[in-house]
Amino acid sequence: MAVLYKSDPVRGAIWAERFAQRAPDMAFRMWPDIGDPAAIRYLVAWQPDDLAVTLPNLEVVFSIGAGVDQLDLTRIPAHLPVVRMIEPGIVDGMVEYVTEAVLAIHRDLFDYALQQQARVWKPMPLRPAVSRRVGVLGLGLLGTAVLQRLRLFGFTCAGWSRSRRDIEGVECFAGDTALDAFLARTDVLVCLLPLTDATRGLLARHVFAGLPKGASIVHVGRGQQLAASDLLDAMDAGHIHSAVIDVTDPEPLPFDHRLWIQPRVRITPHIASATCAVTAADAVLENLRRHRAGKPMIGEIDRARGY
């Protein structure tokens, strides 16, 4: 019985070592050296291409990332469970990234960077964290972890999800009908939604208009959720103050894109978080054990919902 890994080979070497230590009975194959295709029961990949169709005895497809939007679910036979990556490394990285971004916005670092360029020494009033209302779109694994950390700084926190959630110290909004009320109370909007048909293009004109004047954006979901030209228009109009953007459409962001040159936009190349090879291998090993024992796996997606 074998696992086929199709992703970054450098990290793959760490996975191979972990599997050899912790599951010596399970052969670990690294694409394109797949060996006997009939022996492969589990596939770990960012993009499986047509492997999910051609491997005759495949039992589960594991996404190497937290998101699954990069998978073409129509090319994964309906009987195969699809499992996303849930491991502590991704959570820690995202909490760090969003916390830094929210603090940079809160402490006016975009304005101070511009002042520095102009050699201007001009303190601005210091606002208490409680007066800054942070709102997170998406209250899943990552959104919840981010809010739990931001609360510790004293920010006034809220979140929005599809179904109703209950997170201590966080005002929770649910469903499309609650979106406007959520936006109206949000000074720093963080997007941690999965990309689905319902969230594609969500960060657009009406969302920016629904935020209070002077609000800022931290976008760490997926590039296709953001209408970049609407954001730039809202910034040019002075309605949105600043934006931290980790995901763009397309990636890489084209050299001549206007986002690069807007002085209150900070761009990073989709690095907000990433799986940590050791803990990711452990997460898949745990799911293999569960699957073999007939137990539910952690992170199995609902294909109908798309996440």
Return residues touching ligand OXD (CB under 6 A): 65-67, 90, 274
Distance CA 19, CA 282 (A): 8
Residue 270 binds to ligand NDP (criterion: CB under 6 A): yes
Q: How far is CA 246 from the centre of its chain?
A: 9
User: Applying CB under 6 A, does 89 fall inside the site for ligand NDP?
Assistant: no
The residue (of 61 and 247) whose beta carbon lies closer to ligand NDP is: 247
Question: Distance between CA 263 and CA 111 in Å, rounded?
Answer: 9
Instruction: Give which of ligand OXD, ligand NDP, none residue 135 binds (C-beta under 5 to 8 Å, depending on kind).
Output: none
242 near ligand NDP (CB under 6 A):
no
Annotated catalytic residue 206: no
Torsion of CA 178, 179, 182, 188, to 10 degrees: 170
Q: What is the DSSP string of 144-183?
A: HHHHHHHHHTT-EEEEEESS----TTEEEEESGGGHHHHH
DSSP 8-state symbol, 71: S
Nearer to ligand OXD, 90 or 190 (CB): 90
What sections of the chain are H helices per DSSP? 9-22, 51-54, 88-106, 109-117, 141-152, 179-184, 205-210, 228-236, 277-292
Quick one: 87 or 187, whose CB is closer to ligand OXD?
87
Give me the half-sphere count of Cα atoms (radius 13 Å) on the Cβ side of residue 275: 27
192 binds ligand NDP (CB under 6 A): yes
Residue 147 and residue 168 in contact, taking contact as beta carbons nearer than 8 Å: no
Taking the complex as a whole, how short is the minimal distance between the CB of residue 158 and ligand NDP, in angstroms?
13
Token reading at 134:
């942070």
Which of 101, 136, 141, 158 is in the footprint of ligand NDP by CB under 6 A?
Answer: 141
From ligand OXD, ligand NDP, none, interface partner of 102 (C-beta below 5 to 8 A by class)? none
Instruction: Assess 90 for contact with ligand NDP (CB under 6 A).
Output: yes
* 141 interacts with, out of ligand OXD, ligand NDP, none, CB within 5 to 8 A per kind: ligand NDP
> Using CB under 6 A, which of the segments 13-21, 54-62, 114-122, 193-201 binds ligand NDP?
193-201
Nearer to ligand OXD, 159 or 299 (CB): 299
For residue 88, the minimal CB distance to ligand NDP (Å) is 12
List the catalytic residue out of 107, 165, 239, 270.
270
R_g (Cα) of the chain, nearest Å? 21
Residue 37 or 93 having the CB closest to ligand NDP: 93
Distance CA 250, CA 110 (A): 25
Contact 188, 106 (CB under 8 A): yes
Selected binder of ligand NDP within 63, 156, 273, 287 (CB under 6 A): 273
* 14-17 contacts, C-beta under 8 A, 24 or more apart: 14/277, 14/278, 14/281, 15/44, 15/277, 15/280, 15/281
Residue 29 annotated to the active site = no
- HSE (side-chain half, CA atoms, 13 Å) at 264: 24
Site pattern 160..189 for ligand NDP (x: CB under 6 A) = xxxx-x------------------------
Q: Which is nearer to ligand OXD, 192 or 234 (CB)?
A: 192
Catalytic positions, written as ranges: 222, 270
Footprint on this chain of ligand NDP (rule: CB under 6 A): 66-67, 90, 94, 138-143, 160-163, 165, 192-196, 198-199, 220-222, 246-247, 270, 272-273, 307
